[in-house]
Amino acid sequence: QEVTLKLHQFLPAQANVPKLVLDVWADNVEKDSGGRIKVERYPSMQLGGKPPELIDQAIDGVADVVWTVVGYTPGRFPSTEVFELPFMMTNARAVSHAYWEMFEKHMKDTEFKDVHILGTWVHGPGMIHTKDPVEKPEDMQGMKIRGGSRSVNSLLTKLGATPVGMPVPAVSEGLSKGVIDGTTIPWEVTTALKVPELVENHTEFEGRALYTLTFVLAMNKAKYDSLPDDLKAAVDKNSGLEFSVFAGGTQADADGPARKVAEDLGNNIITIDSAGVDEWRAIAQPIYDEWVADMNGKGIDGQALIDEAQMLIEKYTPQYSN
């Protein structure tokens, strides 16, 4: 082959996203390049550094392609947070579609100008997994919960819970030793972390999800520019809107089997119906205002982003709902 792309990310090779999304992407790029591109896969941060460094590694060319959680570097890509606000996301395909559109329009040449973005997506509905059942907001009082993002932590505080900052791989140990009483993650991650064996209660929300996280697949700019046109085309063919929707959708589809595992174990799955969700939304509402104020401080029209995101999500949700 002519070109080797080093693909670096933080999960083990057999986890869902590396196996079902990144490997598929890499195989397709290799195939469409006629074998002239080889994608070397480095899971589990094998090339060194810690997960928050991934985006810099793509920018500086330490790795050629990285997959990363945007929230690992808080404050750096503020516009993406619009999709992470509580009760914003509906389903992962629709929101990933909206994310790509808004990325192209607002973020490509600003926040992400130093890197070539191949895909933007979100995970399936974020939810709560706890030792004691959570049916009402009051049930969260005094619980120590691992939160995944800025707005989730803020929501947890408003609910009277104590947000505990810890990386995803630390969740199993934290739960088994009682350092935390629960965690916020989507279903898909629960199997790898053995969460259904460590807690017995899972709280889902009908309609819009409690939260989600944003991801990007990013490529070093110089590396991309250095590719001959036909190889660029092979990369382009597997990137962009279609890939983003595929990635978000595939990750969300992995929720189902994971939910089944918890069901089979006889765990207690609580679904908050739309009437119940209103109560939670009322508590979450101030987070929207705080976020808009925060964005205004950064010279970004936060309200406009919220309005546009909501409009796009409304528009695409029916299209992707089954």
Partner 1 sequence: MTALEIGIASFPALMVLIFLRVPIGLAMFLVGLVGLVLVTDGTQVAFARLKNETYTTFSSYSLSIVPMFLLMGHFATLGGMSNALFKAAEGWLGHRKGGVAMAAIGACAGFGAICGSSLATAATMGRVALPELRQYGYAGGFSTATLAAGGTLGILIPPSVVLVIYAILTEQNIAKLFLAAFIPGILAAVGYLIAISIYVRLYPESAGTRPRVPYAERFSALVQVWPVLLVFGLVVGGIYLGWFTPTEGAAVGAFGTGVIAWLNGGLTRASLTESFLVTARSTAMIFFIVLGAAFYNGFLALTQVPQELSNYVVSQGYSPWTVLALILVFYLIFGCLMDSLSMILLTIPIFFPVISAMDFDLVSLAAMQADAAMEVLKAGVPDGMSAETLAGIQDAIASGAELTRDQMKDLGIRVTQGMANRIEAEHVAIWFGILVLIVVEVGLITPPVGMNLFIINAMDRTTRMVDTYKAVMFFVATDLIRVVILVAFPAITLFLLG
Partner 2 sequence: MHKLMMGLAKVMAILGGIVLSMLILLTCVSILGRLLNGLFHSEFMTGIAPEFSHWMINAGVGPVNGDFELVEAGVAFAIFCFLPFCQITAGHASVDILTNSLPQGVNRFLRMITETVFAAVLILIAWKLGDGMISKRSYGETTLLLEFPIWWAYALSFLASAAAAVVGCYMAGVRIIEFFTGRVLVWEGMESGH
List phi, psi (to 5°) of 145.
-120, 135
| Distance (Å, whole) CA 99 – CA 156 | 25
List phi, psi (to 5°) of 3.
-125, 135
213-252 mask for partner 2 (x: CB under 8 A)? ----------------------------------------
Q: Does 46 bind partner 1 (CB under 8 A)?
A: yes
Q: Out of 162, 172, 303, 310, which residue is the one contacting partner 2 (CB under 8 A)?
A: 162
76-95 mask for partner 2 (x: CB under 8 A)? x-------------------
Q: Does 131 bind partner 1 (CB under 8 A)?
A: no
Q: Does 265 bind partner 1 (CB under 8 A)?
A: yes
Q: Out of 113, 136, 298, 315, which residue is the one contacting partner 2 (CB under 8 A)?
A: 298
Q: Out of 2, 31, 35, 50, which residue is the one contacting partner 1 (CB under 8 A)?
A: 50
Helices (H), 33-158: 54-60, 92-102, 150-158
| Distance (Å, whole) CA 186 – CA 174 | 17
What is the largest distance, in Å, between two alpha-carbon atoms of the chain? 59
| Distance (Å, whole) CA 198 – CA 171 | 10
Closest approach, Cβ 165 to partner 2, in A, equals: 5
Element (H, E) at 283: helix 274-297
Other CB atoms within a 10 A radius of the CB of residue 227 amount to: 20
Q: Does 141 bind partner 2 (CB under 8 A)?
A: yes
Specify the residue, 167 or 276, whose C-beta has the smaller distance to partner 1: 167
Closest approach, Cβ 157 to partner 2, in A, equals: 9
Stretch that binds partner 2, among 5-13, 100-108, 136-144, 266-274 (CB under 8 A): 136-144
Q: 258: Cβ–Cβ under 8 A, 6 or more apart, which residues?
A: 187, 188, 189, 190, 191, 196
Closest approach, Cβ 47 to partner 1, in A, equals: 5
Q: 152: Cβ–Cβ under 8 A, 6 or more apart, which residues?
A: 84, 86, 126, 163, 184, 210, 211
Q: Find which of partner 2, partner 1, none residue 57 binds, CB within 5 to 8 Å per kind.
A: partner 1
The answer to whether 183 and 163 are in contact (CB under 8 A) is no
Q: Does 178 bind partner 1 (CB under 8 A)?
A: yes
Residue with the two structure tokens 């697949």: 217
Q: Does 23 bind partner 1 (CB under 8 A)?
A: no
| Interface with partner 1 (CB under 8 A) | 6, 42, 46-50, 52-53, 56-57, 60-62, 169, 173, 176-179, 191, 194, 197, 264-266
| Interface with partner 2 (CB under 8 A) | 56, 71, 73-76, 141-142, 144, 149-150, 153, 162-166, 298
